[in-house]
Amino acid sequence: MFLDKVIFNKTKVPVLNAVLDVTQLRQRVLANNIANVSTKGYRKKSVRFQEYLASFVSKPPVQGQISNARHISIPGRVSNPEVFQPETTTNDAGINNVDIDMEMAELAENHLFFNAGSHLLAGTFNGLRKSITGRPG
């Protein structure tokens, strides 16, 4: 959309959008790990969110220009946050590899991360609104 290109894509909106998306995914993965805390043989899941978010702020080393329809684009941005199963040993109870303290800590971190993202996004929209209408609120 034209409006997207001129207004939103020049601001922090796409990055913050990705922050909210990835924290939501992470929340789901953490909820699943915690729900399965007493499941025998369960393997915990994790999200590679740092790499995904870093691809928004750092420029790729090589950039390609598509001058012919048959060219393929050089992948610059990590298209999706990746969910994977980390190889860790079983926890103290020995029934699976979910460490409940780590999961709860990650959950708290994720929660704050989401709140920060949503706060910044609200601020960005407020700023846009201010510059469009010329008055606060």
Partner 1 sequence: MQIFDSFDISASGLSAQRRKLTAVASNIANVDTTRTDEGGPYKRRRIVMLEAPKMTKFSTMLEEQEGRLRQTELRHMPEGEPRPGEFFVGSGVLSQEVREEPVKPRMVYDPNHPDAREDGFVLYPDVNVITEMVDMIAASRAYEANVTVMNATKDMVNRALEI
Q: Which residues bind partner 1 (CB under 8 A)?
A: 20, 23-25, 27-32, 34-40, 42, 45, 79-84, 100, 103-104, 107-108, 110-111, 114-115, 118-119, 121-122, 125
- Helix 49-57 / helix 13-35 crossing angle, nearest 10 deg: 180
Rounded Cα gap, residues 111 and 66, in angstroms: 40
Q: How far is the CB of 65 from partner 1 (least distance, A)?
A: 25
Q: How far is the CB of 66 from partner 1 (least distance, A)?
A: 22
Q: 48 is written with which tokens?
A: 């590679």
> Residue 11 or 118: which CB sits closer to partner 1?
118
Rounded to 5, what percent of the chain is helix, strand, coil?
55, 5, 40
> Residue 40 or 70: which CB sits closer to partner 1?
40
Cβ atoms of 52 and 14 within 8 Å: the answer is no
Cβ atoms of 30 and 99 within 8 Å: the answer is no
Q: How far is the CB of 63 from partner 1 (least distance, A)?
A: 22
> Residue 60 or 75: which CB sits closer to partner 1?
75
> Residue 65 or 122: which CB sits closer to partner 1?
122
